[in-house]
Amino acid sequence: MGELSAFLRGNAAEVPNVFFAASQRFTEEGVAVPWEIRCISCSEDEELRKSCGKRPATARGKASGETDINLYLGRLAALCTVFPNLRDQSLQDSYGVMGADNLLKAMLTPGEYAGYLAKVQEVCGFDQTFQELVDDAKN
């Protein structure tokens, strides 16, 4: 059995940021510019999930506890993106959108966006994508 000290915060390895070329269309001197992705904390993820809840009333008038998966994944990707700064007003203005998650959708093609979402989930430690987990839960 291991020592409890191994679990102390100072002994835990940090999750490093990951650099990933989300698109081959954004280049400098002919080389795709990598995006920087960070892992969020469980607390940040919990708050994010709460903010992405579906609110349709059930038969008894109570809100369901379901998460809007598309909204969650878009906001997760935006929250995890360190570079480019998706909150930059001039970048949002250049695409004619408001909000970091909307900017991602405007900047990337559908295939690039799907690949980026998968990479973000990998960085955050999900072995399966969130959609796969939902599909498994339904079965």
In DSSP terms, which residues pair with 19 in a beta bridge?
36
Domain assignment present for residue 134? The answer is: no
In DSSP terms, which residues pair with 20 in a beta bridge?
35
Domain assignment present for residue 136? The answer is: no
Domain that holds residue 62: 4-127
Distance CA 34, CA 118 (A): 16
Domain assignment present for residue 133? The answer is: no
How do residues 95-107 score in pLDDT, each as one tens digit? 999 999 999 999 9
Domain count for the chain, please give it: 1
Give, to the nearest 10 degrees, the angle between helix 69-80 and helix 100-107.
90
Which tokens hold the place of 50? Answer: 């709460």
Domain assignment present for residue 74? The answer is: yes
Domain assignment present for residue 75? The answer is: yes
In DSSP terms, which residues pair with 94 in a beta bridge?
none
Mean pLDDT over 110-120 rounds to 96
What is the structure's pLDDT at 3?
85
Domain assignment present for residue 47? The answer is: yes
How do residues 1-57 score in pLDDT, each as one tens digit? 678 888 898 888 899 999 999 999 999 999 999 999 999 999 999 999 999 987 655
Domain assignment present for residue 24? The answer is: yes
Give, to the nearest 10 degrees, the angle between helix 69-80 and helix 42-51.
140
Q: What is the CATH number for 86? A: 3.30.2220.30
